[in-house]
Amino acid sequence: VENVGILAMELYFPSQYVDQNDLEKFDGVSIGKYTIGLGQSKMGFCSDREDINSLCMTALHRLIEKNNINLHDIGRLEVGTETIIDKSKSVKTFLMTLFAKEGATDIEGIDTTNACYGGTAALFNAINWVESSSWDGRKAIVVAGDIAVYGKGPARPTGGAGAVAMLIGPDAPLVFDCGVRASYMTHAYDFYKPDLASEFPFVDGKLSIHCYLSALDNCYNLFCKKMRKIDSDFKGLLSLDGMLFHSPYSKLVQKSLARICFNDFLNASEEDCEKKFPGLSEFSNRKLKETYFDRDVEKAFMAYSKELFQEKTEPSLHIARNVGNMYTPSLYGGLVSYLISKSPDQLIGKKFGLFSYGSGLASTMYSINICKDISVGSKLDKLIKSLQETVSLLDKRECVDPSTFSELMEVRTKNYHTAPYEPSGSIDALFPGTYYLLKIDDQRRRTYERK
Ligand code: ACO
């Protein structure tokens, strides 16, 4: 099989959001902290009407419907999520209701979990399956979804919610490079959810930034090394047309691009250094490990990378800024944002790097090529048009004031374990086609309906 990758994609984000300007005032923090300091505009959230099953169902159904997918043509369905509402039963089994109805039950795959990385792990499983001897010729679907909520405090404005669904198979317009995926995995307590009675994580904000950036350093250097083995001309960031990141908040992504440039700077030969990084020689003795919170390095390389950021990364942040951290779908929201910012002829033959990070921690940098083959041009065209339509829903959302948002969060928190339970969240507020939770019965079984 050739050109295995993403054939089609759909995204779902909640119909309600809170404005970060309003949230700054409501939280009593200094004006600009969330909007400029974190680089966030709006944060999507769900009432108790939605849970991880409904979110993933909505994205999946949208993908199937918009692409007329024959359910018997799907041989694998994978879910990536860190929103756990059942310690045994997977989200995938709920998604099977759609398939089982049609008698399509011969479908491999199950849920994968590690913070924001689960979606990427699920995606790799699907790609690997299509490329393997187990493959039976059918396509795979990957769904990644999460509800990202934090307790009151500095992390709360970095929440969000959403789900992405991707159709995987050969002859795709978005093709994965083979043999160059570069991972960095280790143990860290930067963000984790050991309290099964609560929806909220334990988070050490500063440590999580440190872990994210050190994972990036490791993945980027290894990725470049592996790339140079297959292409001796590979020049790192300069050989990539786009550089996309998992986005907890947009400012961290901008700092990450600067960090990549700092890596390039440290790796450059002495003569290249002067030529390519004029005026930065004072930083040549700095070490990666000692500079995670070095203000001078950060400032200098943010300034150096400003245009590179505008060109290669900024177009990928539209959804992240306006929905927030969706956790597992975050990076794929970045891919969607990037794709809809261009026309197919601007994309043909382009290559971009993607950095996936999940606390705890698991991370990988990998790359996608937009197929040069004109025959897939129409697939790409269809993909972009469909996503543009979906993303235009951002403007059709309802802005909710922070006090109502806070009350809805209270309801979620209070009833996280209530059974039997009937949600009180508005059905009217949901977009047409959204799945929602109807009730939880006394045996804690959940039933859903579609609007
Ligand atoms: N105007 C402009 N900028 C401001 C203002 C203002 N009025 N006030 C503060 N800022 C800036 C700060 O200088 C800071 O910028 P810097 O990052 O360049 O230093 C930024 O806004 C944030 O302010 P802090 O005081 O650093 O914020 P705080 O420590 O309160 O919280 C944090 C930020 C740690 C990111 C918190 O939101 C958090 O814990 N989030 C969840 C964890 C997270 O997302 N980690 C990222 C990787 S792991 C993952 O994906 C979950």
Predicted confidence (pLDDT) per residue in 357-407, tens digit: 999 999 999 999 998 876 666 889 899 999 999 999 999 999 999 999 999
Whole-Å CA distances, 450 to 135, 270, 292: 33, 62, 46
Residue nearest atom 15 in ligand 1 by C-alpha distance: 37
The phi-psi region of residue 171 (left if phi > 0; otherwise alpha if psi is between -120 and 50; otherwise beta) is left
- Confidence band, pLDDT 50/70/90 cuts, at residue 125: very high
pLDDT at 375: 67
pTM above 0.90, yes or no: yes
Q: Which of 33, 189, 259 to mutate to test the pocket of ligand 1 (most atoms within 8 A of CB)?
A: 33
- Report the atom number in ligand 1 closest to the C-alpha of 249: 44
CB of 279 shorter than 6 A to ligand 1: no
- High-pLDDT (> 90) share of the chain, %: 94
* Per annotation, catalytic residue among 10, 78, 82, 314: 82
Nearest by Cα to 60 from 170, 202, 165: 165
Contact 202, 191 (CB under 8 A): yes
How much distance in Å is there from the Cα of 38 to the middle of ligand 1?
A: 6
- High-pLDDT (> 70) share of the chain, %: 99
Q: pLDDT per residue over 432-444, tens digit each?
A: 999 999 999 999 9
pLDDT at 334: 98
Q: What six digits make up the tokens of 415?
A: 């009833």
Instruction: Over range 42-71, report the average pLDDT.
Output: 98
Helical segments of 268-317, H only:
270-276, 295-304, 306-312
How much distance in Å is there from the Cα of 14 to the middle of ligand 1?
A: 24
Residue nearest atom 12 in ligand 1 by C-alpha distance: 37
pLDDT at 373: 73
Q: How far apart are CA 293 and CA 269, in angstroms?
A: 25
Q: Where is average pLDDT lowest: 61-65, 93-97, 269-273?
A: 269-273
- Report the atom number in ligand 1 closest to the C-alpha of 24: 7
Q: Is residue 410 annotated as a catalytic residue, yes or no? A: no
How much distance in Å is there from the Cα of 321 to the middle of ligand 1?
A: 14
- Tokens 């369905």 locate to 77
Q: How far apart are CA 356 and CA 118, in angstroms?
A: 9
- Tokens 């994968």 locate to 112
pLDDT at 376: 62
Judged by DSSP in three states, 307 sits in helix
In the predicted model, what is the mean pLDDT of the chain?
A: 96
Whole-Å CA distances, 100 to 235, 292, 302, 382, 437: 48, 50, 51, 28, 20
CB of 25 shorter than 6 A to ligand 1: no
Contacts of 358 (CB under 8 A, 6+ apart): 82, 114, 115, 116, 117, 118, 120, 246, 328
How much distance in Å is there from the Cα of 203 to the middle of ligand 1?
A: 13
Nearest by Cα to 194 from 184, 186, 204: 204
Q: How far apart are CA 331 and CA 334, in angstroms?
A: 5
pLDDT at 193: 97
* Per annotation, catalytic residue among 246, 273, 314, 318: 246
ipTM: 0.98
Q: Is residue 449 annotated as a catalytic residue, yes or no? A: no
Whole-Å CA distances, 115 to 44, 53, 72: 19, 17, 31
- Confidence band, pLDDT 50/70/90 cuts, at residue 206: very high
b/e code 204-237 from CB counts within 10 Å (16+ = b): eeeebbbbbbbbbbbbbbbbbebbeeeeeebebb
pLDDT at 283: 96
Q: What single letter denotes the amino acid at residue 89?
A: K
CB of 292 shorter than 6 A to ligand 1: no
Contact 5, 140 (CB under 8 A): no
Q: How far apart are CA 220 and CA 251, in angstroms?
A: 19
Instruction: Over range 86-113, report the average pLDDT.
Output: 97
Instruction: Over range 39-46, report the average pLDDT.
Output: 98
Contact 352, 243 (CB under 8 A): yes
Q: Which of 202, 208, 210, 253 to mutate to test the pocket of ligand 1 (most atoms within 8 A of CB)?
A: 208
Instruction: Over range 272-290, report the average pLDDT.
Output: 94
Nearest by Cα to 431 from 409, 450, 404: 450
Q: Is residue 246 annotated as a catalytic residue, yes or no? A: yes
Residue 140 backbone phi and psi in degrees, to 5: -120, 155
Instruction: Over range 58-79, report the average pLDDT.
Output: 98
Contact 8, 339 (CB under 8 A): no
pLDDT at 379: 87
Nearest by Cα to 418 from 384, 446, 385, 394: 446
Q: Where is average pLDDT lowest: 55-69, 190-204, 342-356, 371-385?
A: 371-385
Contact 9, 167 (CB under 8 A): yes
Residue nearest atom 5 in ligand 1 by C-alpha distance: 33
pLDDT at 372: 81
Q: How far apart are CA 12 and CA 236, in angstroms?
A: 32
Q: Which of 21, 27, 117, 158 to mutate to test the pocket of ligand 1 (most atoms within 8 A of CB)?
A: 158
Q: What is the DSSP string of 103-140?
A: T----B--EE-BTBTHHHHHHHHHHHHHTSTT--S-EE
For helices 52-66 and 91-100, angle between their N-to-C axes, nearest 10 degrees:
40
Residue nearest atom 51 in ligand 1 by C-alpha distance: 248
Residue 172 backbone phi and psi in degrees, to 5: -90, 155
Instruction: Over range 293-306, report the average pLDDT.
Output: 98
Residue nearest atom 38 in ligand 1 by C-alpha distance: 155
- Confidence band, pLDDT 50/70/90 cuts, at residue 422: very high
* Per annotation, catalytic residue among 24, 46, 56, 116: 116
pLDDT at 377: 66
Q: pLDDT per residue over 226-277, tens digit each?
A: 999 999 999 999 999 999 999 999 999 999 999 999 999 999 998 889 899 9
- Tokens 């990037």 locate to 338
The C-alpha torsion from 88 through 94 and 99 to 100, rounded to 10°, is: 70
